[in-house]
Chain A
Amino acid sequence: MKIAIIGMGLVGRILAWRLHESDRTIHISLFDQQDRDYYGTGLIAAAMVAPYTEVPNTEPIVQRLGQYSFQRWKEWLPELSTQTQQDIGYLQNGTIVVAHPQDQSDWQRFQIKAQRHIDNEKWQTLNQTQLKHLEPELAQTFSQGLYFPNEGVVDNQALYPALNHYFEQAETISLYENTRIDNLDSISADYDKVFDCRGNGASHNLNNFRSVRGEVARVIAPEVKFSRAIRLLHPRFPLYIAPRKNDEYIIGATQIESDVDTPVTIRSGLELLSALYSLHQGFGEAQIVEFLVGLRPSFSDNLPKIEWGEKIIRINGLYRHGYLFAPILIDDVLNKIMGNETGIHFPQFIVNNES
């Protein structure tokens, strides 16, 4: 079987890897308009796998999708580490949500939505003693928190190079870098299946599709020792902090309804860093490594879609949930290819378009 995958972002890469693992006789061609080291949205992202703390701001179904993916990454990342002999971190210490006393209204709103949509056993409130036990430095500023234990952060800075390494070793995977493909029909004659895994590049082929701008900062903060993802609720500058190795933290992210990826604005930078400093003053002496901008490919409901044609299959619109959605979507796609319809978990995302 010959398969083409257009787009070497998170979905395209994971799909190529899982397809190759399922059947090594499949010939896979991976195309991208950039090269393999391009810093795309999947690499800029904080890579949080947050099935619960995302719920209050999105659709409740995110919880079920994300629970599956949280478990799947636990299996996948060690497997890829073994295959590539590369260490890929997966922080699984959960998320703590906090708010400043003056933002009690946002704190209450978040809890009301969490109570409505999230199972009680999936989260707990923390008093200051409990907060101090879990995340001591956070208790210096905050007297209470909400704890969601089953959430994680993927080290995407390690994942992407590991997948590059995997592709280089795989005899039946070919990479076509700096190769832009706009017309998928034009190459479909040469392949049994063509997967459109483009992000924003697919915009002119899709209806109800847009990009949502997100800005993040990467900082190195030796004076801060957080061991899990932190979210700060705020009426205007909500913030998350995703820890990486070596005292590095990803700080994100703005959410602007714009498809322009010009550099980070002063206002966004000020908002992100002011909110960050209010969370822990140890960030005051942190080094700003870089500010980055990514565009999140999104449908109007901010949920993903798999459009299943006879030959062309489109997997698009992962919005700000690439790491939360990719495992479940790709497992569903593989099950459908293999004819295992009963193994599909979320048929509502598969739109049959077979002619």
Chain B
Amino acid sequence: MQSPTSTNNSSETWNVYGIELQSRFFIGSALYPSPHIMQQAIKASKAEVITLSLRRQSPDQKGGEKFWDYIKDLGCHLLPNTAGCHSPQEAITIAQMSREIFQTDWIKLEVIGDDYNLQPDPFGLLEATEALIKDGFKVFPYSTDDLVLCQRLQDLGCEVIMPWGSPIGTGKGLMNPYALTTIRERLPDVNLLVDAGIGKPSDACQAMELGFDGILLNTAVAEAVDPVIMANAFANAINAGRAAYKSGIMPPRQTAKPSTPTVGTPFWHQQ
């Protein structure tokens, strides 16, 4: 029997495009002080899926190969991303290069619509998703928290959808829990991950309590004063949120209710 104090819900697995996973933490590989610290942090996170970018590393010449090897050495599933792409065609090209280099049909699809807050372009995202699914990719789209956009992505065949909590790298947490809750309720059969904007472990925990299936983050760990300890903190928070969701969170009440019986309390102390 699993210890009740365990930080890893190791008995529960989930299925992502046919792959069984235990961890619900997808972690990024950018912005760490060094590849060595990145490796330590990812190990501490117990993540089984690592996202990586190749847009700026001269992928046609495999310029980042040595760095990619540090990531491959961790033995996790690789989720290449199209970070930095501003048009569907750019994203499709990078996805195809990624598939060739990393031998995976998984792609985290980012099509950026606004350069300052890196907001996804919903129209370009749908266009690229459709093309990539037709080309045999398993798409993990990074989207806004717009319900209709998420529905359209599901209609196109996405089994995973990753709405933002807030813009990439801001650490503002869940800006719109109402929208995220609605997506969860309306798309019960899709794997939902909050991607982007998570700043604190409690943000990740909150998203998991809402019933999200996982969390994807990078900056909050990589730019922490101690990324390794922070990775562990997030792993614990994600597990706590998942356990809370599964075990049934009590609905809030308007009035206080004593957790000890009031029998025996003098009537003039009772209301």
- Residues of A in contact with B (beta carbons under 8 Å apart): 57-59, 105, 109, 112-113, 116, 203, 209-211, 213, 235, 256-260, 262, 265, 267, 299-303
Q: Is B33 close to A, CB under 8 A? A: yes
What residues on A are CB-neighbors of B33 within 8 Å? 57-59, 302
What residues on B are CB-neighbors of A57 within 8 Å? 33
Q: Flag B214-226 by CB within 8 Å of A: 1 or 0 each.
A: 0000000001010
What residues on A are CB-neighbors of B70 within 8 Å? 210, 300
Q: Flag B53-92 by CB within 8 Å of A: 1 or 0 each.
A: 0001110010111110010000000000000000000000
What residues on A are CB-neighbors of B37 within 8 Å? 301
Among A105, A262, A301, the residue within 8 A (CB) of B170 is A105
Shortest Cβ distance from B223 into A: residue: A109
Among A257, A258, A300, the residue within 8 A (CB) of B36 is A300
What residues on B are CB-neighbors of A116 within 8 Å? 225
Chain B, 168-190, CB within 8 A of any chain A CB: 169-171
- In the assembled complex, the CB of A272 is this many whole angstroms from the nearest CB of chain B, namely 13
A271 to B63, CA, bound (A): 20
Shortest Cβ distance from A59 into B: residue: B33
Question: Do A300 and B225 form a contact, CB below 8 Å, given A105-B170, A213-B63, A258-B63?
Answer: no
24 residue pairs from A and B, CB less than 8 Å apart:
A57-B33, A59-B33, A59-B34, A105-B170, A109-B223, A210-B66, A257-B64, A257-B67, A258-B56, A258-B58, A258-B63, A258-B67, A259-B65, A260-B58, A260-B61, A262-B61, A300-B34, A300-B35, A300-B39, A300-B70, A301-B36, A302-B33, A302-B34, A302-B36
What residues on B are CB-neighbors of A213 within 8 Å? 63
- Residues of B in contact with A (beta carbons under 8 Å apart): 33-37, 39, 56-58, 61, 63-67, 70, 169-171, 223, 225
What residues on B are CB-neighbors of A59 within 8 Å? 33-34
A80 to B179, CA, bound (A): 67
What residues on A are CB-neighbors of B67 within 8 Å? 210, 257-258
Question: Do A256 and B225 form a contact, CB below 8 Å, given A59-B34, A105-B170, A300-B36?
Answer: no
A257 to B37, CA, bound (A): 15
A258:B170 contact, CB within 8 angstroms = no
What residues on A are CB-neighbors of B39 within 8 Å? 300
- In the assembled complex, the CB of A105 is this many whole angstroms from the nearest CB of chain B, namely 7
Among A235, A258, A299, A300, the residue within 8 A (CB) of B57 is A258
Shortest Cβ distance from B57 into A: residue: A258
Question: Do A262 and B58 form a contact, CB below 8 Å, given A105-B170, A209-B66?
Answer: yes
Q: Beyond A116-B225, A300-B39, A301-B37, list 20 extra A-B contacts (CB 8 Å).
A: A59-B33, A105-B170, A203-B66, A210-B70, A213-B63, A235-B169, A256-B56, A256-B57, A256-B64, A257-B67, A258-B56, A258-B57, A258-B63, A258-B67, A259-B66, A262-B58, A299-B36, A300-B34, A301-B34, A301-B36
- In the assembled complex, the CB of B262 is this many whole angstroms from the nearest CB of chain A, namely 48
Q: Interface of chain B, helix or strand or loop or mixed?
A: loop
A257:B57 contact, CB within 8 angstroms = yes
- In the assembled complex, the CB of B110 is this many whole angstroms from the nearest CB of chain A, namely 14
Question: Do A260 and B170 form a contact, CB below 8 Å, given A59-B34, A113-B225?
Answer: no
- In the assembled complex, the CB of A41 is this many whole angstroms from the nearest CB of chain B, namely 16
What residues on B are CB-neighbors of A209 within 8 Å? 66
Shortest Cβ distance from A57 into B: residue: B33
- In the assembled complex, the CB of B224 is this many whole angstroms from the nearest CB of chain A, namely 9
What residues on B are CB-neighbors of A109 within 8 Å? 223
A190 to B186, CA, bound (A): 77
A301 to B41, CA, bound (A): 13
A210 to B171, CA, bound (A): 31
Shortest Cβ distance from B171 into A: residue: A105
A192 to B35, CA, bound (A): 36
A258 to B64, CA, bound (A): 4
What residues on A are CB-neighbors of B34 within 8 Å? 58-59, 300-303
A92 to B204, CA, bound (A): 45
Among B56, B57, B170, B171, the residue within 8 A (CB) of A267 is B56
A262, A265, A300: residue with the most chain B Cβ atoms closer than 10 Å = A300
Shortest Cβ distance from A295 into B: residue: B63
A240 to B225, CA, bound (A): 22
What residues on B are CB-neighbors of A113 within 8 Å? 225
A59 to B37, CA, bound (A): 9
A235 to B116, CA, bound (A): 10
A259 to B67, CA, bound (A): 9
Which 7 interchain pairs have the tightest Cβ spacing? A258-B63, A210-B66, A260-B63, A257-B67, A301-B36, A302-B34, A260-B58
What residues on A are CB-neighbors of B56 within 8 Å? 256, 258, 265, 267
What residues on A are CB-neighbors of B65 within 8 Å? 259
A203 to B69, CA, bound (A): 14
A342 to B191, CA, bound (A): 60
A256 to B63, CA, bound (A): 9
Shortest Cβ distance from A265 into B: residue: B56
A258 to B63, CA, bound (A): 4
A116, A209, A213, A257: residue with the most chain B Cβ atoms closer than 10 Å = A257
A285 to B45, CA, bound (A): 48
A206 to B66, CA, bound (A): 12
A58, A59, A116, A256: residue with the most chain B Cβ atoms closer than 10 Å = A256
A300 to B32, CA, bound (A): 11
A57 to B223, CA, bound (A): 8
- In the assembled complex, the CB of B265 is this many whole angstroms from the nearest CB of chain A, namely 49
What residues on A are CB-neighbors of B63 within 8 Å? 213, 256, 258-260
What residues on B are CB-neighbors of A262 within 8 Å? 58, 61
